[in-house]
Amino acid sequence: MTVESTAARKPRRSAGTKKSPSTEPELVQLLTPEGKRVKNAAYDKYVAGITPDELRGLYRDMVLTRRFDAEATSLQRQGELGLWASLLGQEAAQIGSGRATREDDYVFPTYREHGVAWCRGVPPENLLGMFRGVNNGGWDPNSNNFQLYTIVIGSQTLHATGYAMGITKDGADSAVIAYFGDGASSQGDVAESFTFSAVYNAPVVFFCQNNQWAISEPTEKQTRVPLYQRAQGFGFPGVRVDGNDVLACLAVTKWALERARAGEGPTLVEAFTYRMGAHTTSDDPTRYRGDEERQAWEAKDPILRLRRYLEASNHADEGFFAELEAESEALGRRVREAVRAMPDPDHFAIFEHAYADGHALVDEERAQFAAYQASFADGEGA
Amino acid sequence: MATETSKAVTSKTMALAKAINESLRRALETDPKVLVMGEDVGKLGGVFRVTDGLQKDFGESRVIDTPLAESGIVGTAIGLALRGYRPVVEIQFDGFVFPAYDQIVTQLAKMHARSLGKVKLPVVIRIPYGGGIGAVEHHSESPEALFAHVAGLKIVSPSNSSDAYWMMQQAIQSDDPVIFFEPKRRYWDKGEVNTEAIPGPLHKAQVVREGTDLTLVAYGPMVKTCLEVADAAAEEGRNLEVLDLRSVSPLDFDAIQTSVEKTRRLVVVHEAPVFFGSGAEIAARITERCYYHLEAPVLRVGGYHAPYPPARLEEEYLPGLDRVLDAVDRALAY
């Protein structure tokens, strides 16, 4: 359901807008957990033309992203990565929103947007350099309009807003999407980005994946109101979408991006989802949450529900699923081999890129470091 | 500033604040990607009038009044830089920069390295700094060392109108983020500006008075104080050299070394607290570089390890003529 600003268009409530029994407010849903397509007068049009091929594509994206994610978790367990932040359970939110973006749009991710990176065409193995500790960001942001992962939570929402302000100044019709989570919603930078984007009417979509947990803290520790309602106070619309429904995420994000392109300013999308795994491989969720909750969310699995829909509507056959299984395993292998082959960086990488135009002290310290290193070589030679 | 060319007809006398204003105007004129943003920089022209008239001439899209949120100002400037703009942001007063400290230290300073050089952040952060204007709390601080400690940032501070003009040009042209500390108590001091001179490198120090007996090192507001000290010392037959650092990061240690090898004595002066201040770094490095030349330990004169005091006490807190002369006497006594 949406919250309306005075200036904004508002999709009307419809049959597909589900009222949850508990404290959960209404959310936009197009596919039920059972894989049943439900109508939604406001958002159906954003996925009306979707072809079976595209539906299979969304399914493939989610399966491959999950496979990549599982491989990365394994690589951490094997000691190949220092840390991994799993996206397990959030595939629909990321693939749905990621596939809604246009090539010229720009994405500002957190450190968990592996599915969005996949949609943007960032080679998945490139995401792993920072988790292996060979770099702090292993891709060129401008190659895929996908910024580097931002570890300090919420900071990137301001960068996204500034970038969007630049789009307006350029007279372009691109849009920006900024990812953040329920934990980051408490950060001042997120509030400031809402203020700036509203005041300057910046073409930015704030995509909050509310995965219910900020490490050990539940959403109740962050907010007294549903997060999407925060937008109202800043003067732009907010909508809560079923974050485990890839079609709904695709539709709602397309709507929000179109608003941005049309000069209607920012939108807050709250994708209501669940972090099925630990915060990172260093975390132990058994210390703070019960398994019943996880099991309840497992029944809403994003991949399973699209599979049910594809099967029920005869959009995919056994051959498709078998082929995808093989492709998944190949991807896992490729990622595994790529990570194991990643060399440690050259020692002098410490000094490289500290500055764009150079810095006398960095030059001096690099020379001292080189002399120190060379002193061992002399010793060996003696 | 290195204005060794003969005085051209383009040389004008202007106040330091006006020199920055003229420099911003020139940058806005010559590069459509340059933006000016901050609190009250538009119609008002900034609380010190440094941006006076710019919004009128360049429009609200390029001279931007922002919401009162410093992290937001710097954070959105980063985003604009990622889009290809060259924002010059104003933080209204030194003590107001800390809400933006996270964006400056965690993002602005590190994104170039994080991206392995793929992303450049040509952002200038202007901060009127220092005391001496009788202000209320948070309006008189000198936080330059808090930024100089962070790799990825460049820190400069002009002491006169000509440097203010040219260093701002160079800061805007820099592909690295530059924090531009403006000595607010010198805003109204007038000086010659040759707008057609060829400036020397941004991060090189300048000998502003040659001498043989002792080197005084300063930057920003304290350069004028040190020149006055040198005049006073001259009356007592002491011939002091004054070095205007102009840049705190990188810091021109070669220039200090050259001077100290000649004078054999060094006093560093800044308004910022002495403890962990830039003088400490200078003292350590010059001791290492000039150990066999020094006739006295490197002495420092600066603020005390106490919160900046109420205005009625600031003359006691700030290094003035007598406190610097006292340090000079002590150094010469060795």
Nearest to B177 by CA among A354, A143, A344, A14: A354
Is B119 found in the same domain as B262? no
Q: Do B112 and A353 touch (CB under 8 A)?
A: yes
Is B155 found in the same domain as B29? yes
A80-94 confidence digits (pLDDT tens): 999 999 999 999 999
Whole-number pLDDT of residue B6: 52
A133-162 confidence digits (pLDDT tens): 999 998 999 999 999 999 999 999 999 999
How many whole angstroms separate alpha carbon A188 and alpha carbon A196?
A: 12
Chain B residue numbers touching A360 (CB-CB < 8 A):
203, 250-253
Is B137 found in the same domain as B29? yes
Is B279 found in the same domain as B166? no
* Confidence class for position A215, pLDDT limits 50, 70, 90: very high
* B32 lies within 8 A of chain A by CB: no
Residue B199 lies in a domain: no
Q: Do B79 and A195 touch (CB under 8 A)?
A: no
* Confidence class for position A347, pLDDT limits 50, 70, 90: very high
- The enclosing H or E element of B17 equals helix B16-30
Q: Do B116 and A361 touch (CB under 8 A)?
A: no
Is B57 found in the same domain as B27? yes
* Confidence class for position A380, pLDDT limits 50, 70, 90: low
Is B280 found in the same domain as B173? no
Q: Say if residue A123's pLDDT is above 70.
A: yes
Residue B145 lies in a domain: yes
Is B249 found in the same domain as B128? no
Q: Say if residue A8's pLDDT is above 70.
A: no
ipTM: 0.95
Sign of CA pseudo-dihedral B36, B37, B43, B49: negative
Is B44 found in the same domain as B181? yes
Is B37 found in the same domain as B130? yes
Q: Do A188 and B114 touch (CB under 8 A)?
A: no
Chain B residue numbers touching A135 (CB-CB < 8 A):
116
pTM of the model: 0.94
Number of domains in chain B: 2
Is B263 found in the same domain as B226? yes
How many whole angstroms separate alpha carbon B132 and alpha carbon B22?
A: 25
* A170 lies within 8 A of chain B by CB: yes
Q: Do A192 and B71 touch (CB under 8 A)?
A: yes
Q: Are strands A213-214 and A217-218 parallel, antiparallel or unpaired?
A: antiparallel
Nearest to A202 by CA among A147, A155, A248, A157: A157
Which residue among the candidates A288, A340, A347, A359 is catalytic per the annotation?
A288
A283-341 confidence digits (pLDDT tens): 999 999 999 999 999 999 999 999 999 999 999 999 999 999 999 999 999 999 999 99
Chain A residue numbers touching B114 (CB-CB < 8 A):
136-137, 148
The rounded percent of chain A whose pLDDT value lies above 90 is 91
Rounded average pLDDT over A343-359: 96
* B16 lies within 8 A of chain A by CB: no
Whole-number pLDDT of residue A198: 98
What is the amino acid identity at position B132?
Answer: G
Is B250 found in the same domain as B324? yes
Residue B24 lies in a domain: yes
Residue B200 lies in a domain: no
Residue B23 lies in a domain: yes
Q: Going residue by residue through chain B (334 aa), what tens digit of pLDDT does each one get?
A: 444 555 556 899 999 999 999 999 999 999 999 999 999 999 999 999 999 999 999 999 999 999 999 999 999 999 999 999 999 999 999 999 999 999 999 999 999 999 999 999 999 999 999 999 999 999 999 999 999 999 999 999 999 999 999 999 999 999 999 999 999 999 999 999 999 999 999 999 999 999 999 999 999 999 999 999 999 999 999 999 999 999 999 999 999 999 999 999 999 999 999 999 999 999 999 999 999 999 999 999 999 999 999 999 999 999 999 999 999 999 999 9
Catalytic, A336? Answer no
Domain carrying residue B16: 12-194
Distance from CA of A199 to the nearest CA of B (A): 8
* Confidence class for position A25, pLDDT limits 50, 70, 90: low
Residue B87 lies in a domain: yes
Q: Say if residue A100's pLDDT is above 80.
A: yes
Residue B6 lies in a domain: no
Q: Which of A155, A170, A199 shows the shortest C-beta gap to B75?
A: A155
Sign of CA pseudo-dihedral B75, B78, B80, B86: positive
Catalytic, A279? Answer yes
Q: Do B250 and A352 touch (CB under 8 A)?
A: no
CA B163 from chain centre, in angstroms, equals 10
Average pLDDT score over chain A: 93
Q: Which of A167, A353, A357 shows the shortest C-beta gap to B116?
A: A353
Q: Say if residue A20's pLDDT is above 90.
A: no
Residue B2 lies in a domain: no
Choose the final residue of a domain: B142, B162, B194: B194
Choose the final residue of a domain: B194, B216, B232: B194
The enclosing domain of B19 has a CATH number of 3.40.50.970
Q: Do A163 and B80 touch (CB under 8 A)?
A: yes
Is B245 found in the same domain as B188? no
The enclosing domain of B235 has a CATH number of 3.40.50.920
Choose the final residue of a domain: B194, B217, B243: B194
